[in-house]
Structure 1
Amino acid sequence: MSASFGKSKEAVARPPYKMIARRIGLQLREELEHPEAEPLPIDHVDLLLRLRQKERERSRRHA
């Protein structure tokens, strides 16, 4: 009996950048109490995601 522990394509799929930008922007506005602020630009979200990926890679290498 073998079990497949790999993730399906649906489980690995990433949400679109616009949804991520809205979510991060909403969280920042709640933290900083600036409800009139604009959502984060897509470029900023992309940079934040790449930074987080690098942090994860570093922590895996040093673990």
Structure 2
Amino acid sequence: MEMHLQGVTQHNIAEWLSSSQQRVNEWSQGKVEPGVMTVEAICRKLGYRLALEPIEERKSA
């Protein structure tokens, strides 16, 4: 999870989520991935909506 948001720090994100800065740093470094609910919470805080869409369209039978 890349974090290149101007003015938003790992500390800010940790506070928003009641998490640790170390945990946010692990996401940033790709050591672990945040869950979808965590990603959704970050998106909401930044004014975005998380939309899950299929990678490929389903073929009709």
TM-score, normalised to structure 1's length?
0.28
- Which structure's CA Rg is the greater one? 1
